[in-house]
Amino acid sequence: MTKLSVNINKIATLRNSRGGNVPDLLKMAGDIEDFGAQGITIHPRPDERHIRYQDARDLKKIVRTEYNIEGNPVESFMQLVLEVKPTQVTLVPDAEDAITSNAGWDTLKNRGFLSEVIAEFRNHGIRTSIFTDPDPKMIEGAVATGTDRIELYTEAFAAAYEKGNKDGIKPYIQAAETANSLGLGINAGHDLNLENIRFFKDNIPGLLEVSIGHALIAESLYLGIENVVNMYLHKLKD
């Protein structure tokens, strides 16, 4: 079975937009685990516009499943991960001002840097994953860094699938086959949703874990708002 790790960044975004502690990020993380998710993912950025560094520390105390921290391994991120010691760290090459992740690592050009970072995390018992495009050369480059896993960047697949083009899965199948042959674990994430997740999962051999945030939270609003509206109406009845 492929594990589901829920990215809770958007819950933090909603909380931060109003101040205070509503919604309660820690309670939501616990509830998500209670509902069956096998992991919690966060992606703190240096400006702390959604997940705050203190959130990462606080979540360590309550997460009972796999705890995955994503981000660009700048010095402050490195220090945070080494302090918190999550189950897994996923290295993502996003710029500080990026709205969201938009590319995988060039594992060939960045081999030396990634190797040093990964060695440091592995020395502290933290599983490592590299965010990569579905390019066999980048997968081969990832192996040379010593990483445990890769996370396939799935935006291109999701965009093609939305247009009815199921051939968009082909590069991901090839990438997965390459990873499997080289002994790398496979994670995936970005724009996966209820419409495309089953097709993706059924076609990717050895898929261990998916990390889903934006779509899952948005779908939760759509699929849950009817119940809440009716609860308010009930309270307001004469």
Is the separation of the CB atoms in 70 and 40 below 8 Å? no
How far, in Å, CA of 22 to CA of 158, rounded? 31
70 is catalytic: yes
Give the residue from 78, 156, 94, 82 showing the smallest Cα distance to 126.
Answer: 82
> Which listed residue (33, 66, 70, 151) is catalytic?
70
| Active-site entry in 33, 43, 50, 209 | 43
How would you class 78 by CB atoms within 10 Å of its CB: exposed for 0-12, middle for 13-18, buried for 19 or more?
A: middle
Q: What does each C-alpha distance from 168 to 51, 102, 155, 171, 205 come to in angstroms?
A: 32, 17, 10, 7, 16
**Positive or negative torsion for Cα 68, 65, 50, 208:** positive
Q: Is 190 a catalytic residue?
A: yes
120 tagged catalytic: no
| Residue 71 exposure: Cα atoms within 13 Å on the Cβ side | 28
Catalytic residue, chosen from 33, 50, 151, 190, is 190
Which residues are marked as active site? 43, 70, 190
